[in-house]
Structure 1
């Protein structure tokens, strides 16, 4: 049976006991390596799980899934994913492929950024649609995410923005020439994300991302404990001014705070603010929070 098994958010010890049992019972163990990453090397997973782990890059997961599902009718195979298995359409696709082959599957859930984001103090039931922000290029600067942000903003909801990563990606030239040459990994930083948001706001002029009037919270390595996790709040203008090292190591996410911000949310998140006084002033004067 194929197991799609979540590893959680940070390191080899975040796996659930049920997930660990699935891994140790499997004859082959794959690690999906392109929708997200752990903060540790593959060797640590292998040592802890007692299994050789086969990296499954984008090409394998999307075009060679038959290899992952090989003999899955008669033996256990595990596909390890960071976060929760249903956090990316890639994992849904491989489950559909297994279904088409008549192969039963089992999903083992765990923590993901979509629930762990609550560490910043904002309540999960006040979040709207999650959006992704990709690296802009000279010829490709997609802004459709802005429409989702505006829909959330109209409802007063918070927005979780997932920042782009590039792992084992080819340049346009190498892709066109069919050369298996890959670019170094890249991870979008918070200042770059805020700069791209500001650029789109400048084009759209919808007032959704006004730099001095919009509160936001940056998160990195959520679940990694006090030595790794970073949470930093402020206006978009403040976050853009901070040096990258303030935000910690990747992976990074960004929350755009919605206008239905509750005063208890604002109070809790103020502990992470670059300037707690300014945070509370904006929360009170722009968002209507009453701290009395």
Structure 2
């Protein structure tokens, strides 16, 4: 059996009982280590699971899946992923490869940012399409995400913006020269995300993202169990963009663009985390048409 097991969002104890049973029964256990990160080191996982973990980087998962799937038709093999297994297309692809090889597969689900985002107080059924925001370079500034945000905005829906992470990435020079030299890990911060969103709004000019009138919610380390480690900060894009980076805590960061169908209960829940409560309530009332108690 080939298991794809979600680890949840925080540490070694977030795995489900069903997932842990699958890990303990497996001959080999791989830890996918590039689409997201856990908040603990691999060694803590190994100690808790009682199993040695094999780090599976992008090259292994995308280019050498046969190595992972080897003998999975005869014995249990597990692939561990942060969050939920279907949070990245990479995991869908390896399941399809397993099926093509007639290898039985089983998915063990867990919490991911896609549902834990509800911790900010916005209702999950009021979210539209999630989008990804990548690091811009001088020559590459993809903006197709803006169209998805606009579509959500037109429907009054919230948008979850997943911020880029760069793990085991190569520079253009090293990539061209075929040198396996990797850049230090980078994780997009809320100020960087806000700056890039405003840059795209300036170039596109459709008025979807107004610095002083668009409400947004910054989230970091969602699901963390230590007091103060999970951070939620609400405000306008302008307010979030001018906060000291330390306000947002350690990565991983996510950003929610608040939709115009904002319900008063959502507004009141999120107000607890606002940079400026009066500003939050005024804009919710005057711009979003939110009826507050």
State the TM-score, normalizing by the size of structure 1: 0.99
Counterpart residue number, 1:221: 221
Counterpart residue number, 2:235: 234
Task: Give 3-state SS (helix, strand or coil) of 1:232's partner.
Answer: strand
Matched, 1:10 2:10: yes
Q: Any gaps of 5 or more consecutive residues in structure 2? A: none
Counterpart residue number, 1:112: 112
How far off its partner does 1:290 sit?
A: 1.2
Counterpart residue number, 1:187: 187
Matches within 5 A, 1:19-30: 19-30=19-30
How far off its partner does 1:236 sit?
A: 0.1
Task: Give 3-state SS (helix, strand or coil) of 1:51's partner.
Answer: coil
How far off its partner does 1:227 sit?
A: 3.2
Distance 1:290 1:235 in 2: 18
How far off its partner does 1:281 sit?
A: 0.5
Q: How many residues align?
A: 292
How far off its partner does 1:154 sit?
A: 0.3
Counterpart residue number, 2:251: 250
Distance 2:85 2:67 in 1: 19
Counterpart residue number, 1:160: 160
1:141-199 per-position Cα deviation (integer Å, ceiling 9, x unaligned): 00000000000000000000000000000001100000000000000000000000000
Counterpart residue number, 1:174: 174
Task: Give 3-state SS (helix, strand or coil) of 1:141's partner.
Answer: coil
Distance 2:71 2:98 in 1: 11
Matched, 1:270 2:271: yes
1:220-255 per-position Cα deviation (integer Å, ceiling 9, x unaligned): 011103331000000000000001110000000000
Distance 1:291 1:216 in 2: 18
1:258-278 per-position Cα deviation (integer Å, ceiling 9, x unaligned): 000001100000001011111
Matches within 5 A, 1:60-139: 60-139=60-139
Distance 2:105 2:251 in 1: 32
How large is the RMSD of aligned CA atoms in angstroms? 0.5
How far off its partner does 1:59 sit?
A: 0.3
Q: Any gaps of 5 or more consecutive residues in structure 1? A: none
Distance 1:32 1:244 in 2: 29
How far off its partner does 1:16 sit?
A: 0.3
Q: Where in structure 1 do 4 or more consecutive aligned residues deviate above 6 Å?
A: none
Matched, 1:151 2:136: no
State the TM-score, normalizing by the size of structure 2: 0.99
